[in-house]
Amino acid sequence: DVRLVESGGGSVQAGGSLRLSCAVSGLTFSSRCMGWFRQAPGKEREGVAVIASDKSDGSTTYADSVNLRFTISKDKDKNTLFLQMNSLEPEDTAMYYCAAGRAYYDCPELWRGDVDYWGRGVQVTVSS
C-alpha cells in the first residue's frame, strides 16, 4: 500500500519557520514528481512547490507567493519529502498536503492537480 504521512505542522508567529516532512512508503521518488499543496479555509487547493523525479532532473518549481521563502527537497535514502518554510506570513495559514504524481508523468501534470496519491494533510497556522 502507498502511504504519504505529513508531519511538522504547527502554530508560529509571522516571520517564523517550520519544516514539513512527508514520509513516503509504497513508492519511490525515482519516477515520480512529488509536491506540496495547500488549502486555506474557503479557498481552493493550490500548488506550493514540486520537485521532479530522480530520473528526470530533480528540478524544483514554486508558486510565486512562496518563491524564495520555501524550499522543497527530498531524501531518497529515507524516502522522505520536505518543505522548509521561512519568513512565514499569516497568508500561509492552510492545511498542507503532500502529493505524488503519476509514475513517469512530468511535474506540469502534478502542478495542474493530476495527483496519484495524497497525504492526509497537516495544519500550519501563522499568527500576526
Mean pLDDT value across the chain: 96
Please name the residues in contact with 38: beta carbons below 8 A apart, sequence gap of 6 or more. Answer: 45, 46, 48, 92, 94, 95, 96, 97, 124
19-48 pLDDT tens trace: 999 999 999 898 999 999 999 999 999 999
Q: What is the mean pLDDT of each run of 10 residues along the chain (128 residues)?
A: 97 98 94 96 96 92 97 96 98 98 91 95 98
* pLDDT score recorded for residue 57: 87
All cell numbers assigned to 84: 522548509
Maximal CA-CA distance, the chain = 41
For residue 4, the tally of other CB atoms under 10 A from its CB is: 21
Indicate the pairing of strand 46-51 with strand 34-39.
antiparallel
